């Protein structure tokens, strides 16, 4: 059974880029379109090992989702990498305080993505 990675982004294009970059890997990629959907997918797949999430999304943004995940005993240890164009110091500080493990700036490059994946899925 392959490791599962959750990709949460309201942009289908952004999700497709990540899925395409990981297409030749052994990992199963699960997609979610916002924070609420991300939480639902995580609850349906409690064996997810890594989460990539955008910060700016409708309904439940990435920071709200991270807070919810980190407050949940079952999921609190899952590493989370934010994929974002957000560069405000406040948003990045908030993400770090919530327990975000890594950051990648969009558009994501394959080598950067694989470095993060390999550091958490050994």
What does the pLDDT read at residue 86? 65
**pLDDT tens digits, residue range 42-98?**
999 999 999 999 988 888 888 899 999 999 888 999 999 998 886 678 878 888 898
1 or 3, higher pLDDT: 3
pLDDT digits 0-9 by tens, 103-112: 888 888 889 9
pTM above 0.85, yes or no: yes
Report d(CA 103, CA 122) in Å as an integer.
Answer: 19
CA angle 102, 104, 105 (to 5 degrees): 145
For each of the domains in the chain, give its residue range(s) and CATH number, in order of start.
Answer: 4-120 (3.40.50.2300)
């Amino acid at each position: 059974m392959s490791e599962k990675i959750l990709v949460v982004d309201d942009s289908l294009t952004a999700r497709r880029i990540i899925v395409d970059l990981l297409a030749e890997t052994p990992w199963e990629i699960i997609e979610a379109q916002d924070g609420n959907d991300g939480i639902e997918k995580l609850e349906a797949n409690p064996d997810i090992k890594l989460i990539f999430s955008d910060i700016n999304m409708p309904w439940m943004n990435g920071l709200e989702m991270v807070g919810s995940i980190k407050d949940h005993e079952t999921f609190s240890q899952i590493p989370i990498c934010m994929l974002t164009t957000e560069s405000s110091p406040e948003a990045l500080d908030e993400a770090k305080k919530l327990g975000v493990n890594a950051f990648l700036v969009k558009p994501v490059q394959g080598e950067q993505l694989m470095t993060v994946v390999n550091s958490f899925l050994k």
